[in-house]
Structure 1
Amino acid sequence: MTVEIEQARRERTRHTAVELAGVGKTFGTGPDAVTALRGIDLRVAHGEFVCLLGASGCGKSTLLNLLAGLDGATGGTVAVSASRPSFMFQEAALMPWLTAARNVELPLQLAGWSRHARRDRAAELLGLVRLDGVGAKRPHELSGGMRQRVSLARALAAATSSDSDEGPGLLLMDEPFAALDAITRDVLQGELLRVWEATGTTIVFVTHDVREAVRLAQRVVLLSSRPGTVVKEWDARSHRDGLTDEITGRLRQVITSHAA
């Protein structure tokens, strides 16, 4: 029986990029303590695209920080079996003194790649995000949308910068398109889907935009207001029609109950 349980655990791990069990996060101690997350149970499969949705302050970004290893949980367990989690933020956060290509190369250089190999990989990733021919430009020469494409290419480089048997890389995205105009945001959402389908990267995407979540995700996970916990999950692959209204209604209930 013990052998069967261990084999089942290994099989589950092989297919799981992220697993959180009873995860909580509290900042501070005593009367000033603030509980951001409580009792989070969440599993993300390798290659899956999951959107975390919730109102501002519900702990979405805190949850990403736990997955990235930038902070530790104060309760429960966080298991990340995907190789090299990488972050993409609302701001592109590119090194202004480096060219687009050198920004993409940076995580590869830190991982010990040779100059020739990282140049080839950077060119490949810039092509993947439709930025052929701009590798020599610096961030100030690029539009906001182009800078976010470079940021995406760099994040993909970081997520896949080592040979690993742990499955595809893990890309953590914290409202990466929120600061862009509507047209550019729409274009980059489509580009992200294309890149995800081409690479098989596991994506955990934080947003407060219901339409964005429904368009992008295979699965939408709604968090409650602080302290954040999982309220409900939806499989967005099976029925996107009408799902935006359904999730919006549930989100309004969450916000209203918290305000009351």
Structure 2
Amino acid sequence: MTATLENAAESTVDPAVTLSAVRKSFGHGSNSVLALDGVDLRVVPGEFVCLLGASGCGKSTLLNLVAGLDAPTSGSIELSTSRPAVMFQEAALMPWLTAARNVELPLRLAGLKRGERREKAGELLSLVRLEGAGHKRPHELSGGMRQRVALARALASTLGSAEEGTPGLLLMDEPFAALDAITRDVLQAELVRVWRETNTAIVFVTHDVREAVRLAQRVVLLSSRPGRVVREWSTVDGDEPALINDITSHLREVISGHAAA
């Protein structure tokens, strides 16, 4: 049986992030474009949520709003952490810095001393299975290895929140989309392992149904532009093939409805 949620899961735990009636438009007057319209979303600490939808439905816009890179036109976003970390499709590493120094960068900005930064960076590189690669620069690493460094750097950005007793929040915008299928499959498994070990809340954007079902505890489907939450599924104890079929069917309905509009 497919587990379907009509509303976000209720919990007595304070959420890592709460979006209430979030609306975002770009431009003004007749030239304005409504990207998001009345989005309500609640993610609890340690939860892994995938945002799924067709290209242009506002998934990346929503992440940018949560990250504080842009502001909603209306509605509210409440965070229990002041340092959400963001990981993009491109690793975006500093090419002149080694892998270890790239991971150290957010720790340096957070004011950690050199010795503590190096120790934390080494721990995080070990966590993403890059022991011994800290001295290498980005051009000496494969695409998959660069994304591992980017993941370690993003986790470093959440450490301040964890030390302050607030939940970490990691925002991921199709981080594996540019990788080959085998590397992507490996990194998906590695991400789940790292998430379980760190208990960091993750909001992961994808347009791949199989990736969403494989990774997330909850899959949230956004409509085509303007993006609205139209359906949610729990993947916990679900029948994976049935979930994939059900979600794919609803995604096709969303895309078809937009094309016919």
TM-score (norm 2): 0.93
Q: Residues 187-231 of structure 1: CA distance to partner in whole angstroms, max 9, x if unpaired?
A: 000000000000000100000000000000000000000000001
- One-letter code of the match for 2:221? L
Mapping of residues 18-167 of structure 1, within 5 Å? 18-162=17-161, 163-166=163-166
| Corresponding residue number in structure 2 for 1:249 | 249
Once residues 81 and 137 of structure 1 are traced to their aligned partners in structure 2, the CA distance between those partners, rounded to angstroms, is 35
Paired residue total: 248
Once residues 64 and 240 of structure 1 are traced to their aligned partners in structure 2, the CA distance between those partners, rounded to angstroms, is 29
Once residues 224 and 82 of structure 1 are traced to their aligned partners in structure 2, the CA distance between those partners, rounded to angstroms, is 28
The offset of 1:83, in angstroms, is 4.2
Once residues 125 and 60 of structure 2 are traced to their aligned partners in structure 1, the CA distance between those partners, rounded to angstroms, is 27
Gaps of 5+ in 2: 1-10
Q: 1:108 touches 1:158 (CA, 8 Å); kept in 2? A: yes
Gaps of 5+ in 1: 1-10
| Corresponding residue number in structure 2 for 1:189 | 188
Identify which range, 109-118 or 71-80, moves more after superposition.
71-80
SS in 2 for 1:160: helix
| Corresponding residue number in structure 2 for 1:169 | 168
Q: 1:83 touches 1:160 (CA, 8 Å); kept in 2? A: no
- One-letter code of the match for 2:253? Q
- One-letter code of the match for 1:174? D
Once residues 202 and 21 of structure 1 are traced to their aligned partners in structure 2, the CA distance between those partners, rounded to angstroms, is 18
Once residues 216 and 119 of structure 2 are traced to their aligned partners in structure 1, the CA distance between those partners, rounded to angstroms, is 30
| Corresponding residue number in structure 2 for 1:259 | 259
- One-letter code of the match for 1:178? A
User: Greater RCO between the two (CA within 8 Å, min separation 6)?
Assistant: 2
| Corresponding residue number in structure 1 for 2:201 | 202
| Corresponding residue number in structure 2 for 1:5 | none
Once residues 160 and 84 of structure 1 are traced to their aligned partners in structure 2, the CA distance between those partners, rounded to angstroms, is 9
- Cα RMSD for the two superposed structures: 1.1
Identify which range, 14-23 or 249-258, moves more after superposition.
14-23
Once residues 82 and 237 of structure 1 are traced to their aligned partners in structure 2, the CA distance between those partners, rounded to angstroms, is 26
- One-letter code of the match for 2:246? E
SS in 1 for 2:72: coil
Q: Residues 58-95 of structure 1: CA distance to partner in whole angstroms, max 9, x if unpaired?
A: 00000001100111111111111134101000000000
- One-letter code of the match for 1:247? I
Q: Residues 113-135 of structure 1: CA distance to partner in whole angstroms, max 9, x if unpaired?
A: 00000000000000000000000
- One-letter code of the match for 2:258? H
Report % sequence identity.
70
| Corresponding residue number in structure 2 for 1:239 | 238
Identify which range, 192-201 or 82-91, moves more after superposition.
82-91
- One-letter code of the match for 1:40? V
- One-letter code of the match for 1:38? D
Once residues 82 and 191 of structure 1 are traced to their aligned partners in structure 2, the CA distance between those partners, rounded to angstroms, is 24
| Corresponding residue number in structure 1 for 2:5 | none
- One-letter code of the match for 1:233? E
Compared CA separation, residues 40 and 75, structure 1 to 2 (3 A): same
Once residues 83 and 160 of structure 1 are traced to their aligned partners in structure 2, the CA distance between those partners, rounded to angstroms, is 11
Identify which range, 100-109 or 73-82, moves more after superposition.
73-82
